Structure 1
Amino acid sequence: MKTNKPLFNDANGRNYLLPFILITTLFFLWGFAHSILDVLNKHFQETMGVSKTESAFVQAVVYGGYFLMAIPAGMIIRRFGYRVGVITGLLLYGCGALLFIPGGKLLSFPFFLFSLFVIGCGLTCLETAANPYVTVLGCKDGAERRINLAQSFNGLGWIVGPLVGGLLLFSDDNSHSDISIPYTIIGVVVLCVAMLFAKIKLPEIGNESEMSASSANLSQEPSLWKSRIFTFGLIALFLYVAAQTGINSFFINYVTDNANISNRTAALLLSFGGMGLFMAGRLGGSWIMARIKAERVLQYCALFASLSMAVLLTGAGTLGIAAFFVCYLCESIMFPTIFAIALRGAGSHIKQASSYLIMSIVGGAIAPVLMGMIADLTNMANAFVVPLVCFVCIAVYAKKIQQVYNAKK
């Protein structure tokens, strides 16, 4: 069992609640950006006649941006600090969203993919800065709780994305609205937030607050790659993002194929059902981890998520929707928990480690394409074997991490 400590106070009694609140707003913005992609998949299939495999490139280009931009983002943050990293990410995100205005006129699938790639590069900067930043805004023992709490607002973005996308892009008479509308709105909002962050100052804290000592000792520390806690976490995070992205990408396809409901209803189910439970799970996870070790919570959630994927392989209709909901509840705590656990083994390499962890999000570029190929060759249900394998591996990872900690005692 764990004991409660002041969540936003460091060892010296300094309180970081205000910086935490400001940074947490960013989690909502990239949650929205990711979740609306799940509506775009089905939208492009129907308006541009692309296959499931081709539509999966919507996710592939965004998550591919994570792989290509993670190291440059980390360099920006190490050189100029978290605030500049945040502003850079917001500018790229906003500009990429506004590219949908000419994209709506051109109606070119490759141009839409380019716009999404720019957005992906911006999201990379945001996540590289914000995820590790919230882990150090208070006591060390509260890292997993803080990042799960911040990621709860990411969950709110995941609710709003498919809700807005479904209402604006799908209609009851199967006509389709201008795809540039939601992206124009979010582009303007994001650029306004960038101007706000340009006028405020964020404290550089955590490992980096002892910059001179860290710089002197960094070369004497063990290599980041010799830390099993970090390297295992890197692999687990890759698998988690692969599973989550694949599930989100084809939720609408699965339920419309197997439960005989409309696209719009499926989008609403994804928004209020799946993503609503996703947000609730993160809020609950922050509370549970004040009492139970994070790695143990992760293990049980991964096991239940694996069982839910096994149900989906049967092609179940209404039961399949229930299985999705169980999965969303269980997977909610996985990303922030794996991220925080992996950073435990980073030492003074925290910003470099964050860059590599964000690179692992490229798993989201691979799984949807693989699942799309399986669906095109066989059926949609069979494609969910991919996230099943990922969740089983994460359960094994969580068990191994517990063994590593027990061996250190």
Structure 2
Amino acid sequence: MALKSQSDGQNKAISLEMQTKDCSSDKKGNGNSSDFNPNKKWLFPFMLVTSLFFFWGFVHNLDPILIPHLRKAFSLTDLESSLIDSSVFIAYFAMALPAGYVTRKYGYKFGILIGLILFGIGSILFVPAANSLQYIYFLGALFVIACGLTFLETAANPYVTVLGPPETATKRLNFAQSFNGLAAFIAPTVVGPMILSGKNLTESEMANMSTAALESYLASEAASVKMPYLILGLIIFVVAVVFYFTNMPDVKDENSEGAEGSSFGAALKSMKLRWGIVAQFFYIGAQVCVGSFFIKMATTTAGLEEGTAAKYLGFYGLAFMLGRFAGTFLMQYIQPRKLLILYTIINIILTVLAITGTGMMVVYTLIAIAFFMSIMFPTIFSMGIDGLGNNTKIGSSLIVMSIVGGALLPPVLGVISDATGSIQMGYSVPLACFAVILLFAFNGHKANKA
């Protein structure tokens, strides 16, 4: 269903041609990207790729559970616990260009398979990390997982945008990202209780424990992550096998073979892409800051128990999911850029309330922020790569690199929180991020410069 209102220049979006020689024989192996017929044989691969949004959303939304859990197990400061996010999102910066190169050279399917293998290996590495009782090994396992997620996101995001009419690319990507929101609800509500023990010992209590009792306590805390991540790793390997035996549409850039002007320099001539890189950097920083320290905010400002706070984190994820579906629906009637402006202004107001509020109002405000953040990533992404043509994969890699904002900005929040003794003051970081996103929404739609 076509959007009734398009973002400026949306009708000039990704001009790519579907070449389904691997999975269509009745039409000489060729299809058209504008013919989004559900009866096509590539519908199942489309659904399979969409499932990836759920899996990487699932593991990302376990990080807000890991942060308070490992903070407790290893007696970490807010700054030290923020390194969990840094180890994840620094991988996006390090691996985005290699992932983009592999995707361009060998295709979407190969990039997805590499991503799934790394994802599965990193998940299983949680078992030896827990056995070692060393914080650095957890960070290493998370880094490997994130390397896999980089391949998945570099391939899956642009892949979804080209599987259908270019004028509905933003809507289609928002729909796929909605399953990311579903994972944001399931991860903390289902897996959270498996990881969080509810045992909160003070520093004095731990100091009075015998060495054997303390080692037993720390071992039990660390061991609680082994089973959830082991199961996740095995599931990911099964998904990789399904992908391997599935014929995937061979989606190529129009005139990609021998095309001139396909380079990083040519891609960066796009004002939309440059704005998209900056905006995505600050959006991911805001999302990670708000979500990762949700439990700390809930226990500090509202006095909630850790387990209860985790349940509210599930509602946070549910709000994110509902926001994605609602945003996808509203984009039939409102230009994506205008909706982004509206949602960003609302989030600026809500973040101010989260900083100045008290009690459960802060918790409900954070949940509302999740709802209005929901459309930002896919909308910024599709606006950023709009009009890139055969530079789309390069642009996708550069925007994925900007996810490093999730590695660099949470430690800033941690420094502010540790220095002021107030986690709420740390939320001035996402407030500043939303201000930058608002600038992008007003300026990032401008036509590309030659």
Structure 1-normalised TM-score?
A: 0.93
Secondary structure at the counterpart of residue 211 of structure 1: coil
Cα deviation for residue 359 of structure 1 reads 0.4
Residue pairs, 1:3-402, within 5 angstroms: 3=4, 10-12=33-35, 15=40, 16-174=42-200, 176=221, 178-205=224-251, 208=253, 210-212=255-257, 215-218=258-261, 223-271=266-314, 273-378=315-420, 379-402=422-445
Query: What CA distance in whole angstroms lies between the structure 2 residues aligned with 1:26 and 1:20?
Result: 10
Aligned residue identity for 1:217: E
Structure 1: distance between partners of 2:195 and 2:36: 49
Tell me if the contact between 1:59 and 1:368 (Cα under 8 Å) persists in the aligned partners: yes
Return the letter of the residue paired with 2:228.
P
What's the CA shift string for 1:326-347, capped at 9, x where partnerless?
A: 2101000000010011110322
* Contact 1:149-1:286 within 8 A present in 2 as well: yes
C-alpha displacement of 1:61: 0.5
**1:10 Cα deviation from its structure 2 partner:** 3.1
Q: RMSD of the TM alignment (CA)? A: 2.2
Q: Is the contact between residue 295 and residue 401 of structure 1 (CA under 8 Å) also seen in structure 2?
A: no
Q: Offset of 1:171 from its aligned partner?
A: 3.4
Q: Aligned letter for 1:159?
A: F
Q: 1:250 to 1:221 in 2, by over 3 A?
A: closer
Deviations 1:14-59 (A, max 9, x none): 5453332110110011001111011110001111111111010001
Instruction: Give me the whole-angstrom Cα distance separating, in 1, the residues matched to 2:44 and 2:183.
Output: 21
Of residues 299-308 and 155-164 in structure 1, the stretch that sits farther from structure 2 once superposed is 155-164
Aligned residues, how many?
A: 400
Equivalent position amino acid for 1:99 in 2: L
Identity within the alignment, %: 37
Tell me whether 222-231 or 164-173 shows the greater mean CA deviation.
Answer: 164-173
Change (3 A) 1:243 1:342: same
Contact 2:62 2:187 in 1 (8 A): yes
Which AA in structure 2 matches 1:55? Answer: S
Give the structure-2-normalised TM-score.
0.85
Matched residue SS, 2:318: helix
Structure 2: distance between partners of 1:240 and 1:186: 27
- Cα distance in 1, alignment partners of residues 180 and 306 from structure 2: 24
How has the CA–CA distance of structure 1 residues 221 and 257 changed in structure 2, closer, same or farther, with 3 Å as cutoff?
Answer: closer
2:205 maps to what in 1? none
User: CA shift at 1:156, angstroms?
Assistant: 1.1
- Please state whether the residue corresponding to 1:70 is helix, strand or coil: helix
Question: Is 2:5–2:335's contact at 8 Å kept on the other side of the alignment?
Answer: no
The C-alpha deviation readout for 1:348-394, integer Å capped at 9, x for no partner, is 10111111111000000011111111111111000000000110111
Q: Mark the CA change 1:221 to 1:193 in structure 2 (over 3 Å): closer, same or farther.
A: closer
Deviation at 1:172, TM superposition (A): 4.3
Equivalent-residue separation in structure 1 for 2:282 and 2:262 (angstroms) = 31
Instruction: Give ranges in structure 2 of 5+ residues lacking alignment.
Output: 7-17, 19-31, 201-216
State the shift of 1:166 in Å. 2.0
SS in 2 for 1:218: coil
Partner amino acid, structure 1, of 2:309: A
Q: Which residue identity lines up with residue 246 of structure 1 in the other structure?
A: C
Following TM superposition, by how much is the alpha carbon of 1:315 offset from its aligned partner in structure 2, in angstroms? Answer: 4.3
Q: Distance in 1 between matches of 2:196 and 2:367?
A: 22
Please say if residues 263 and 394 of structure 2, whose CA atoms lie closer than 8 Å, have aligned partners that are also in contact: no
| CA distance in structure 1 between the aligned counterparts of 2:363 and 2:77, rounded to whole angstroms | 23
Q: Following the alignment from structure 1 to structure 2, what is the Cα–Cα distance between the partners of residues 327 and 286?
A: 17
Change (3 A) 1:186 1:13: closer
Give SS of 2:356's match: coil
Q: Deviations over 1:64-88 (max 9, x none)?
A: 0000000111111111100010000
The answer for unaligned runs of 5 or more in structure 1 is: none
Q: Is the 8 A contact 2:35 2:164 kept in 1?
A: no
**CA distances 1:295-328 after superposition (whole Å, capped 9, x unpaired):** 1011111111111110111142211112112210
Q: Secondary structure at the match of 1:201?
A: coil
Amino acid at match of 1:3: K
Task: Provide the C-alpha distance between the structure 1 equivalents of 2:278 and 2:53, rounded to a whole number of angstroms.
Answer: 23
